[in-house]
Chains A and B, each alone.
Chain A
Amino acid sequence: MTERPAPGRRATAVLVAVLLLAAAAVAASAFLRSGGPGPDGPEAGFARDMSAHHAQAVRMSFIVRDRTRDERVRLLAYDIANTQSQQIGMMTAWLDEWDAPKADPGGSMRWMGHGAHGGGAGGASGARMPGMATEAQIGELQKADGRDAETRYLSLMIEHHRGGVEMARAVLARTGHDRVERLARTMVDGQEAEIRLMEGMLRERGAR
């Protein structure tokens, strides 16, 4: 017989293939959507809060660079400002990838179980993040000069780093997500080392 493959059968094969492809596309897109940590999970909460926490460190570091000529303090501030800005970018990219909001109007720190009690600056509905400087302390840093600015910055930043380490440890206790664990661990190690460095710098200045 010189018969070509039956057109009906070919049409069926094409249709079945299209159907399978479509099903695969649906499954793949559903999988991609549900792949990341949830928008209210500890990973997303950590990424949001640590971004705000880091932003204040960046701000204080820029201020002290304008207020002192001491090369070691200026270099430390340069390092902190750059590192923490970059890390904000990393955490923001996670939130994008997870389709998670960048803001939690329910208040900060809920992922650490601090949501119930209020008491943040200005009547925040969440808890205040540990180690954050007050607006008044930042205002004083902005007015200080030289040695005074250095010791204020070092003291504020030691407290800030201690709070940061506490938050990073809190997420380590709550997540198994690879990249979150890795960044949180580097924050603990890096900031603890800088705390020791800054304590030494404070002692040199006779302030502690």
Chain B
Amino acid sequence: MSKGARNRNSNSKARPNALTERQTPWGVIAFYGSIGVLAIVAITYAFILSRPEPAGASIKDLVQKDDLGRDHTSGTVKYDGAPPMGGDHDPMWQNCDARVYEQPLRNENAVHSLEHGAVWITYRPGLDAAQLSALKAKVSATGYTFLSPYPSQKDPITLTAWGSQVGVQSASDTRIDAFLRTFVKGPQTPEPGAACDGAKDAP
């Protein structure tokens, strides 16, 4: 930089010789410096824009899990978490076409529905009747969702997709809609295009 400044200044008769000049060329430094800073800002901005935000990044307290098994088994699977967020599962998926179940489901079937891109909404039995009917209305109106009680879960209401989960206290929590918009047939779906009907119809 200072070499460039010297070179330029040496051509100018009006100015003192840069070689003998003691002053720091602040103007030149500021000029090139600001171009450099601008470039760095622009490149960083472009990089951030070009990187897709991970799904559900805006959902507070979202829990995520990866490296989930995807094998079929008709046996019992030991899952982490209640309800499970994925893993090996039964060959039969639980029908998840906007379906309301009144009884708890078998994990192994429900996990297969998660693999198909469904969102499983579960609630702790004893949920307030108005809240439960709000959930039922929502699920009945939204394809690729299903609802069932889940006695051993921690939160009153839990939303689960393959590898993602959020617990909420109330059916009016705005994270419910955000979760559905993000994860119903969302980018986490291990098997895009798979059906939510035609398999297990009863709990």
A-to-B contact residues, CB < 8 Å: 3, 6-9, 11-12, 15-16, 18-19, 22-23, 25-26, 29-30, 33, 48, 51-52, 55, 58-59, 62, 88-89, 92, 101-108, 120-126
Given contact pairs A103-B184, A105-B180, A9 touches B4 in the complex (Cβ within 8 A): yes
Q: How far does the Cβ of A147 sit from chain B's closest Cβ, in whole Å? A: 24
Assess whether A19 is in contact with B7, with CB atoms less than 8 Å apart.
no
**Docked CA distance A29–B5 (Å):** 37
Residue of A nearest to B119 (CB): A103
- Select B38's contact among A19, A107, A121, beta carbons within 8 Å: A19
CA distance A15 to B32 in the complex (A): 9
Knowing that A8-B28, A22-B45 touch, tell me 9 more A-B residue pairs with CB under 8 angstroms: A8-B5, A11-B1, A52-B143, A55-B195, A89-B193, A102-B144, A105-B176, A120-B141, A122-B98
Q: How far is the CA of A22 from the CA of B1 in the complex (A)?
A: 23
A3 to B184, CA, bound (A): 65
Q: Render B1-44 as a binary contact track against A, CB cut-off 8 A, 1 for contact.
A: 10111011000000000000000000010001001101100110
- The interface centre, meaning the residue of B42, B119, B182 with most chain A CB atoms within 10 A of its CB, is B42
Asked whether, in the complex, the Cβ of A101 is within 8 Å of the Cβ of B39, the reply is: no
Number of B residues, CB within 8 Å of A: 48
The answer to whether A19 and B143 touch (CB under 8 A), given A7-B4, A103-B184, A122-B136, is no
| Residues in A neighbouring B177, C-beta threshold 8 A | 105-106
- Please give me the 9 A-B residue pairs with the lowest Cβ-Cβ distance, nearest first: A8-B4, A122-B140, A103-B184, A22-B42, A124-B141, A102-B185, A101-B181, A25-B46, A123-B137
Contact A103:B198 (CB < 8 A) given known A15-B36, A55-B143, A125-B138: no
**Cα distance A16–B35 in the bound complex, in angstroms:** 8
- Chain B residues positioned under 8 Å from A16 (CB to CB): 35
Closest residue of chain A to B52 (Cβ to Cβ) is A99
B49 with A102: CB separation less than 8 A: no
Question: Which B residues touch A103, using CB under 8 A?
Answer: 119, 142-145, 180-181, 184-185
CB–CB A122/B137 < 8 A: yes
A102 B186 Cβ-Cβ under 8 A = yes
A55 and B50 contact, CB distance less than 8 A: no
A88 partner residues in chain B, CB cutoff 8 A: 193
Chain A residue at smallest Cβ distance from B51: A29
Q: Which of B32, B140, B181, B193 contacts A12 (CB 8 A)?
A: B32
Residue of B43, B145, B184, B198 near A22 (CB, 8 A) is B43
Residue of A nearest to B192 (CB): A92
Tell me whether B114 is interfacial, beta carbon within 8 Å: no
Residues of B within 8 A of A123 (CB): 133, 136-137, 140
Are the CB atoms of A126 and B193 closer together than 8 Å?
A: no
**Who on chain A is nearest to B196 by CB?**
A55
B97 at the interface (CB under 8 A from A): yes
What are 5 A-to-B residue pairs whose CB atoms are below 8 Å?
A23-B42, A106-B177, A107-B141, A121-B140, A122-B137
